[in-house]
Amino acid sequence: MSLLHQETPGKIEDAASGEAVTNGRSRAAWASVAATLLVTIFIAIYVVSGQKPPVASGEIVQVWAHSSRVETSGFDANGDPMSKQTFDQVLIFANLKLKNQSQVPLVLEDVLANLKQSDGILSVAAGSTGQYDEVFLAYPQLAALHTRAFPPHTTLAPGQSIEGTAFWALKMSKQEWDARQDLNFTFKLQYQANLILAPHTPVIER
């Protein structure tokens, strides 16, 4: 009996020691998981806080298209007679918005209309504000679209917004225009990443 009494405390001590080791390992595992989670959260906060918003934002409010067959006047720039030429043309008009979200002036170098076709992408620069007014003299039936011109070449002060209508002239038939796969617009900004926007509404044919 005395031998049995001597062995029992030893077994209890071994069991308690094993339980303590198990509890210690469990706490260490949880501490490791918590530390990893905290590090992940801090990294995510650092990355998000370090990301800068785009220097510019904008919107393609609406796009219109007008297809026609054009015949040249038969005179060159000097007024000398020349043979007349006939070609198909599509005029694109788009009401645009652009805002400088940065703390420095932004130089808008150009606005491109990008037409994705089966054989590649056609990019055309917008007409000048002077040409914009001339278009409506040549196409009086489009007078309803004649609003404030959007300047394709300008400088925006910090926080400044501009809005207006720009136009592009594409030498192509209506069939080629209708076969387009995509249409978007590129705002070319000097020393900054370009801003590329797509219209959110269907193109209106005029």
Computed from CA positions of residues 129, 135, 140, 145, in that sequence, does the dihedral angle turn out positive or negative?
A: negative
- The verdict on domain 56-205 having CATH code 2.60.40 is yes
- The predicted structure's pLDDT at residue 18: 53
Q: Where in 5-85 does DSSP place strands (E)?
A: 56-71
pLDDT along the chain (206 residues), means of 10: 47 51 59 56 42 89 95 71 85 98 97 96 97 95 96 98 98 96 98 97 96
Question: Strand, coil or helix: what is 49?
Answer: helix
- The predicted structure's pLDDT at residue 83: 76
- The predicted structure's pLDDT at residue 78: 75
Question: Strand, coil or helix: what is 66?
Answer: strand
The single-letter code of the amino acid at 81 is P
Strands 106-117 and 154-156, sheet pairing: antiparallel
Computed from CA positions of residues 182, 147, 192, 159, in that sequence, does the dihedral angle turn out positive or negative?
A: negative
- The predicted structure's pLDDT at residue 75: 67
State the Cα–Cα distance between residues 24 and 14, nearest whole angstrom: 15
The two tokens of residue 172 are 């192509």
Strand partners of residue 60 = 96
